[in-house]
Chains A and B, each alone.
Chain A
Amino acid sequence: MDITLFTTPKEAPLFSYSNQKISNVLQAAIDMQSNNQPQNSHTSTSRSSDSGELPSASGKWASRLLKECARAISDKDSGKIHHLLWMLNELASPYGDCDQKLASYFLQALFCKAMGSGQRCFKTLNAVAEKSHSFDSARKLILKFQEVSPWMTFGHVASNGAILEALEGDTKLHIIDISNTLCTQWPTLLEALATRNDETPHLKLTVVVTASTVRSVMKEIGQRMEKFARLMGVPFEFNVISGLNNLGELTKEGLGVQEDEAIAVNCIGALRRVEVEERGAVIRMFQSLKPRVVTIVEEEADLSSSRDDFVKCFEECLRFYTLYFEMLEESFVPTSNDRLMLERECSRSIVRVLACDDENSTEGECEKRERGSQWSERLKEAFSPVGFSDDCVDDVKALLKRYRAGWALVLRAQGDHHESGIYLTWKEEPVVWASAWKP
């Protein structure tokens, strides 16, 4: 691989950053497409290129360039790769508009893929993230995100509703929370338990943490939760399990599951972190815990079935993150630092999915998402779906009303109502899937 990948080719004129620049660069891209040679002069012809779609400079250039580059990498066309990476580098910026941001983060992944340095890059990103994580920053970020967008709270409300209904009447509850949500799901559940008319049950919460950045703050989180439960008057016990290499290693004993407890397994955004081949085993492990209800919430993207096809995987990844970034842009104020942090969090995931091989997989960082229908296929082997009750659906709808326009709840009614879970849609695109299962 040409190591001078990012040196500006000598022939390139110096562009001042502007729309002109973008269109110049795009022009160059198109020329390259048609002539198969890098040309950086902007006097070249072929306006009538094959694509015929030279957009205005503010069009979706990032998506095209990125896809082009992905194809080039897949084809191992080093000249093209070189050129495209250079162009992306010129245009990308994590501080710009959506296109520029996407270009920036995906460029990083593409570069790593081309250079084969994905694993190293991922490790570095992780280390940096861990260092900069503190309880205060993590808390502030996640709470702010939940305030401006229902991305996370959708799953929380749906799951809480399902859990409360399934465990109605039990006095000893044990919720196994496999997620990295910093326990933001539980205050409302505690409140609901406290305000029930009948006896307030005893709640044991065992949190299984899979993200290394979250581990360090769990102690503080635990203390807060205990205090809050005391305030609410709910008898409460809190445990954290971390440092697992593999979710499949969990056992009943390891989790502290007791015979007289009513178990609920709550899995938010955690199944996707399990290696694809091990997902079945994890689901069987859930089954072995004999839970009353299993709530699964995952983001709607298919990055696993296409994992052998780089271009397809890339395109799907790009589609998903385009939605996500656009959503972030519209939910936060333009100058928000929190949004920047959230975008940065994505970079690790993107690099992991696109540039890291499965063989060198580290613990719990797989990030290969699957669609709700795919998860359903897996889960159906051990569980049967239970629909969300009308009350629960209404609660979710009421939740969505409290946010900006654009969000909706969709029930994919395939035959049975509510069968395959509910979807959160943003601008009519399904983005998050929530479901409940029983043995």
Chain B
Amino acid sequence: MLEKMAEEAHPNILIDESTIRPGSNPPVAKKKRNLPGTPDPEAEVIALSPKTLMATNRFLCEICGKGFQRDQNLQLHRRGHNLPWKLKQRTSKEPRKRVYVCPEKACVHHHPSRALGDLTGIKKHFCRKHGEKKWKCEKCSKRYAVQSDWKAHSKTCGTREYKCDCGTVFSRRDSFVTHRAFCDALAEETARVKAVSNMNTSVVGNINCHFMGTPQGNSIPQNFPSIFKPISSSEDTMINPTTRGLSLWIGHGSQGQETMVNNNLQGIHQLGPLCSGETFADPLVSCSNMSPSDYHQNWVFGTKLSSSNAEELTSTSLPLIDVKEAGTQLLSIPSLYETQHQSNQTPSANMSATALLQKAAQIGSTSTDPPFLGSFRFKCNNDSRVQDGNKLCGPYGSNSILSNLGKDAEKTAGDLFQIHPAKRRHAENEDGAGGETRDFLGVGTVQPICHPSSFNGWI
């Protein structure tokens, strides 16, 4: 508040923030200007009436009585009178410093302790705060009491351009604002912001990114396990029944997601035949702590495990691990899978983490019969622990991973992983960042979620 008022009075003065304190005395050493609103205690306080304040000619020549607005102008004029040298000089006594108070009683600067040191300053202050705004900008109808303010504004008004994230430039602020509210760039921005905040804390997001980037060109054997089919009949964004299973961890929202989901599932489908275990070795061979049996669980995520992509996947499988550690390579990961990169893939991939969880939570809450988990549970000899509401990540995630993905996840995540206490234990051993950045896939902490034989139904 102090600064604000001081600023108004002396906009040209750089305010020394560190020394402004209410009611303090300014350092006497300062010669030129005192801090605004904190006058020299020795100064003479002048209280002018509004009329006098606004009077234009305050400085009068003693010789001829002519009035001037400024002291300097008066001095210049006096020279013209050819005064004898002695008289030319002003009175030798150094004039006492003058400070002025605002005539407006309600104003802070009315009190002598908050007087302003400059006459021009107090005049402007009085006008701005307590005066009638007589000057108006033509273009935008903004009003000003002080002419100089108005002039300064008029110079810049209308010249300012507003640029939206989408690239469009506006000369009018109102059309810019309205455009912005409906611009798609806004939607992406918030999604991106969300995703970025998740990216750094959760590897799961990264892994999911892999998911997103399923190569589209692959032909998919449709032997995707029936488990994945009717996860949620109420799920409206899933167009392909077989895609529903993946909806657990595939984001919702943008239409682009749907194709991606399909793609992902295609990838998963691909894995179907791989469950026998041969190709598992490829990409994961370089992973530490991976045992062959781990691949069984990883196959879902490993569209990379598709035989047709084995080579690329092998070479790019490393990022999986790196991602786990670095957690920042999110954006590069989708390229693992994308033979054709869709422009909507990356942003959607970025939304994956939270979106996935939200989606999963949604599905969990809407579906009364979770065949996926149900059957999975069944197949995995693990019927008792999974609660119906927790469909979040299927059997693969760890408790702690999910807790990073979202608040709703947290409640439900824990239950889910009762399925595999073994896995959880294992996951706990694995050290991410304080136990938080578990690898969703369990890469690095690879654990079979179930005994491979339990995959019978859909291998």
Contacts and interface: CB of A to CB of B under 8 A. Distances in A.
Asked if chains A and B come from one complex, the reply is yes
Interface of A: 139, 143, 146-147, 153, 157, 183-184, 186-188, 190-191, 221, 223-225, 227-228, 230-231, 391, 394-395, 397-399, 401-402
Interface residues of B, number: 18
Contacts of B187: 223-224, 227
B182 interface: yes
28 contacts: A139-B182, A143-B178, A147-B175, A157-B174, A183-B181, A184-B182, A186-B181, A187-B178, A187-B180, A187-B181, A188-B174, A188-B177, A190-B181, A191-B177, A224-B181, A224-B182, A224-B186, A224-B187, A225-B181, A227-B186, A227-B187, A227-B190, A228-B180, A391-B143, A394-B141, A397-B141, A401-B138, A402-B172
B129 interface: no
B182 A146 contact: no
B153 to A, nearest CB: 13
A228 B175 contact: no
Given A143-B179, A184-B178, A391 B186 contact: no
A170 B141 CA distance: 25
A186 B180 CA distance: 12
A228 B181 contact: yes
B451 interface: no
Interface string B99-139: 00000000000000000000000000000000000001011
Interface of B: 136, 138-141, 143, 172, 174-175, 177-182, 186-187, 190
Given A395-B141, A401-B139, A402-B172, A188 B178 contact: yes
B140 A398 contact: yes
Most interface-central of B138, B139, B143, B179 (chain A CB within 10 A): B179
B186 A153 contact: no
A146 B175 contact: yes
- Shortest beta-carbon contacts, A-B, top 3: A187-B181, A394-B141, A228-B181
Contacts of A225: 181
Given A146-B178, A147-B175, A188-B177, A394 B190 contact: no
A368 to B, nearest CB: 30
Nearest to A230: B190
Nearest to B186: A227
A191 B143 CA distance: 19
A184 B174 CA distance: 11
Contact of B182 (A143, A147, A397): A143
Given A143-B178, A399-B174, A228 B186 contact: yes
B270 to A, nearest CB: 34
Contacts of B179: 143
B141 A187 contact: no
A394 B136 contact: yes
B154 to A, nearest CB: 13
Contacts of B138: 401
A190 B182 CA distance: 13
Contacts of A399: 174
- At the interface, is chain A mostly helix, strand, loop or mixed? helix
A223 B191 CA distance: 13
A233 to B, nearest CB: 13
B107 to A, nearest CB: 17
Contacts of A223: 187
Given A147-B175, A225-B181, A228-B181, A398 B139 contact: yes
Nearest to B189: A231
Given A227-B190, A231-B186, A402-B172, 15 more contacts: A139-B182, A146-B178, A147-B175, A153-B174, A184-B178, A186-B181, A187-B181, A188-B178, A224-B182, A228-B180, A231-B190, A391-B143, A395-B141, A398-B140, A401-B138
Nearest to B187: A227
A223 B184 CA distance: 11
Contacts of A157: 174
A282 B156 CA distance: 47
B189 to A, nearest CB: 8
Contacts of B140: 398
Contacts of A146: 175, 178
Contacts of B139: 398, 401
Contacts of B175: 146-147
A231 B186 CA distance: 9
Contacts of A231: 186, 190
A282 to B, nearest CB: 28
Nearest to A189: B177
Contacts of A398: 139-141
- Indicate the member of A146, A225, A398 with the most B CB atoms within 10 Å: A398
A147 B174 CA distance: 10
A186 B178 CA distance: 8
A386 to B, nearest CB: 20
Contacts of A187: 177-178, 180-182
A28 B121 CA distance: 80
A395 B174 CA distance: 11
Contacts of A184: 178, 182
A151 to B, nearest CB: 14
A108 B107 CA distance: 69
Nearest to A403: B172
A168 to B, nearest CB: 17
Nearest to B174: A188
A188 B174 CA distance: 6
A157 B140 CA distance: 13
Nearest to B137: A398
A174 B181 CA distance: 20
A143 B175 CA distance: 8
B433 to A, nearest CB: 29
Contacts of B181: 183, 186-187, 190, 224-225, 228
A188 B190 CA distance: 20
B443 to A, nearest CB: 35
A139 B182 CA distance: 8
B3 to A, nearest CB: 15
A157 B177 CA distance: 13
A259 to B, nearest CB: 30
A190 B177 CA distance: 9
A223 B178 CA distance: 15
A191 B176 CA distance: 11
A157 B173 CA distance: 13
Nearest to A142: B182
A230 B189 CA distance: 12
Nearest to A401: B139
A231 to B, nearest CB: 7
A437 B187 CA distance: 37
Contacts of A190: 181
A388 B182 CA distance: 29
A288 to B, nearest CB: 31
A228 B177 CA distance: 10
Contacts of A143: 178-179, 182
A255 to B, nearest CB: 23
Contacts of A402: 172
Contacts of A230: 190
B173 to A, nearest CB: 8
Nearest to A184: B178
A165 B163 CA distance: 29
A8 B136 CA distance: 64
A226 to B, nearest CB: 10
A250 B179 CA distance: 31
Contacts of B143: 391
A156 to B, nearest CB: 9
Nearest to B175: A147
Nearest to B140: A398
